[in-house]
Amino acid sequence: MVITVVVTNQGNEPTTAGFWVDLYLNPSGTPSIGQRWEDLCGLFPCHGIAWGVTELLDPGESVTLQSVASDYDDIQTVWPGWLVNGTTDAWVQVDSWDPDSSTGNIAESDETNNLTQLSGLTVTGDNPPSLASEGREVPDRPAQP
């Protein structure tokens, strides 16, 4: 299974630094800035993805992120390639993390368009056997990728 996320700079200015994008799978609450995917695990095993976007985006420019090992930060990610039985929601948050800021790493004119939800998913059946990466602790994350 490959998940694709397209991030577009909808502002009038280019981005000025790198930023994080988190995929939360069935989080225990609505994600907010400063909450990494692993802070809101709602199912076990807990899976999520963190992408570190290092390229600067001009206004209107996009970057496409996928749930493939060459795209995401493998230290900040636990992704076996499947959704856990019982998953009903997926959330994506752009500019999700900066431990020293309540608005993420990039100051924006509109901070309200960085979170989206896909709900109504139905995942049934048995989960595949556990992997060694499941249940591991994800290390602290830097402010910028």
Give me the average pLDDT of each 10-residue run along the chain (145 residues): 96 95 97 95 90 97 97 95 92 95 88 94 85 70 87
User: For position 54, what pLDDT does the model report?
Assistant: 97
Residue 49 exposed, middle or buried by CB count within 10 Å (0-12, 13-18, 19+): buried
User: For position 102, what pLDDT does the model report?
Assistant: 87
Phi, psi of 11 (to 5 degrees): -85, -175
User: For position 3, what pLDDT does the model report?
Assistant: 97
Phi, psi of 38 (to 5 degrees): -75, -10
Q: Where are the beta strands (DSSP E) in 18-73?
A: 19-25, 48-53, 62-66
128, 80 contact by CB (below 8 A): yes
The whole domain housing 39 covers: 4-119
User: For position 131, what pLDDT does the model report?
Assistant: 57
> pTM for this one?
0.91
Residue 17 lies in a domain: yes
Number of domains in the chain: 1
User: For position 125, what pLDDT does the model report?
Assistant: 87
Q: How many CB atoms lie within 10 A of CB 32?
A: 12
Return d(Cα 33, Cα 103) in angstroms, integer. Answer: 6
Of 91, 90, 87, 89, the closest CA to residue 125 belongs to: 87
Q: 103: which 2 tokens?
A: 């608005």
Return d(Cα 96, Cα 38) in angstroms, integer. Answer: 12
